[in-house]
A and B are shown apart, each in its own frame.
Chain A
Amino acid sequence: MKERLIRLTVNGRTHEATVEARKTLADFLREDLGLTGTHLGCEHGVCGACTIIVDGAAVRSCLLFAAQMHGHEILTVESLADGDRLNPLQEAFWEHHGLQCGFCTPGFLMTLTCFLRENPHPTEAEVRVAIAGNLCRCTGYKNIVTAACAAARKIAAAPTT
C-alpha cells in the first residue's frame, strides 16, 4: 500500500488518519497532529532530539513510519505537563538550568521519563549512561544529570495516592 489508514493513541487521545507510507512518525506528529514539541536534529537516529515513547519504550521517532503505528500508544513531550503545571522532571530541569536553547530538551525529557520509571533510584553514573543517546550542544550535560537525579529524589519522596 502506498498509504495506510491508521488509528493510534497520542497523549491519551485517539487519532485516525490516512498517511503516506513513507511519512515518518516524527513528521506525522509534527505536521499532521501539530505536536511540534518533538524536534528533528539529524533524521538518522543519532541525536535523540526526536525521542518519544511508544508503548512505554523510548524510541527515535525519525526512524519509525507513521504507517507502523496503527494500534499503538504514543506519548510526546506535550503529555508531561498538566496544563501549565510542570511535572517534577520538568521542574527539576528548570531549577537546575538543565536547558539552554531547549531544542534537544523534549528528547531528554522523554528518555528520562522512561528511564526513571524503570530505575527510580539511579546513581549519577547510571543517569549519564541513560542519556548517552541524546546529544546536547549547549549545556555540557552536567546540569541535565543533576536535574535527573533531583527529579528522581523528588518523585521518590512524593506521597503516592
Chain B
Amino acid sequence: MKPPRFDYLAPASLDEALAALAEHGDAAKVLAGGQSLVPLLNFRLVRPAYLVDLNDIPGLAYIRQENGHVAIGALTRQRALETSALIRERVPLLADAMPQIGHAQIRNRGTIGGSLAHADPAAELPAVVAALDGELVVRNASGGRVLRPDEFFVAYLTTALDPTELLVEVRLPLVPPRTGTAFLEVSRRHGDFALVGVAASVTLDDAGVCTRCAIALIGVGPAPVVARAAAQRLVGSKPTMEVLQDVGQLAAADLSPDGDLHASSQYRRHVAGVLTRRALARALERIR
C-alpha cells in the first residue's frame, strides 16, 4: 500500500502556505498530523498533485487564555492538549475527550486543526467544539473569517473550508463556575472511532437548577449533532433521573443515523439516548 506520486511543499510560513493553496486549490491537500490523510494516501483513495506540509510553520501551535476564551493554534498536537493544565482547568470537556482519541502514538502527531478539518462524523473533537459552540478561525491568502461549528461542519468528511483556506485557530469558551462536563462514547475497542459519542456540559445555579446545558452527539449523522431541544429540556429544571431520561429520549428522537457494518441505525439512535443520559449524570457528579 504505497502512496501515489505527489509534489511536496514545505512552506516556512503561514503566508507561504496560503499562497500555495491559492495557487493549487483542490489539486493540493494539506498535511498536518497526517494520521487521517496518510492512510488515505497509502490506500490511494486520494491522489493530490501537491502535498502542502504545515509542520515547519512556526506560530501555529499554542494554547493560551485570552479574552474570555482559550485560543488553540490549529497545529497544536493532540498530545499537548491532553497534558495541558490550562485545558484541564478551563475547558474540562476537551480534557475529558482527549484520552479517548485514538492512541498515544496518534495523539503525538495528530493536531486539533487536522481533526476538525477532516470532519469524521465519529471523531471526538468536532463534538467538543460543537457542544461548546466554539469558534473556528479560518484564513486564506486574502483574509479570513470566523465560523461557528454549525457553519463549519457541513457533512461527512466535509467542512465549509474551501481548498484555498486553512483553519488556523480554535477558540473555546472558558468553563463557567458550577459546571460539570463529560465525554462518553461507545466504541468496538478502546481508541476506535466512536459508534456513538456524547459531549455534555451542565451548569447549575445555587438552588441546583440547571441554567445551561449543551449536548453534542457523534456517530449519529454526517456531522456532529447539537441536541438543542434535548438540552433545553434540562434548562430551568432540577436534574432528576426522570428528567435525564426525558432528555436522553429527546436527544435520540430526532436522529436518523446511517447504519454501517459496525452499528445499525437503530443501535445508534438507541445508544445516543442512553449515552446522553449517562453523560449528563456523569457531568452532574463533577460539579464542584
Contact = CB atoms under 8 A, between A and B. Distances in A.
A150 interface: no
Contacts of B144: none
Contact of B105 (A44, A70, A133): A133
Contacts of B53: 67-68
B191 interface: yes
A26 to B, nearest CB: 10
Contacts of B191: 132-133
Contacts, number: 91
Contacts of A156: none
A68 B3 contact: no
Interface size bracket, B side: 20 to 34
Contacts of B79: 57
B104 A63 contact: no
B13 interface: no
Contacts of B105: 48, 51, 58-60, 111, 133
B30 to A, nearest CB: 13
B51 interface: yes
Interface string A15-50: 000001110100100000000000000011100100
A20 B3 CA distance: 11
Given A44-B42, A111-B104, A21 B190 contact: no
A68 B55 contact: yes
Interface residues of A, number: 31
Interface in B32-76: 34-35, 38-39, 41-43, 51, 53, 55
A35 to B, nearest CB: 18
B102 interface: yes
Contact of A21 (B39, B42, B51, B189): B51
Interface string B13-38: 00000000000000000010011001
B9 A44 contact: no
Given A57-B108, A59-B105, A133-B105, A64 B38 contact: yes
A88 B282 CA distance: 41
Highest count of chain A CB atoms <10 Å: which of B1, B9, B31, B99: B1
B103 interface: yes
A57 B35 CA distance: 15
Interface of B: 1-10, 31, 34-35, 38-39, 41-43, 51, 53, 55, 79, 99, 102-106, 108-109, 189-191
Given A62-B38, A63-B35, A111-B104, 10 more contacts: A21-B5, A44-B43, A51-B105, A60-B105, A60-B109, A62-B42, A65-B38, A67-B10, A114-B104, A133-B191
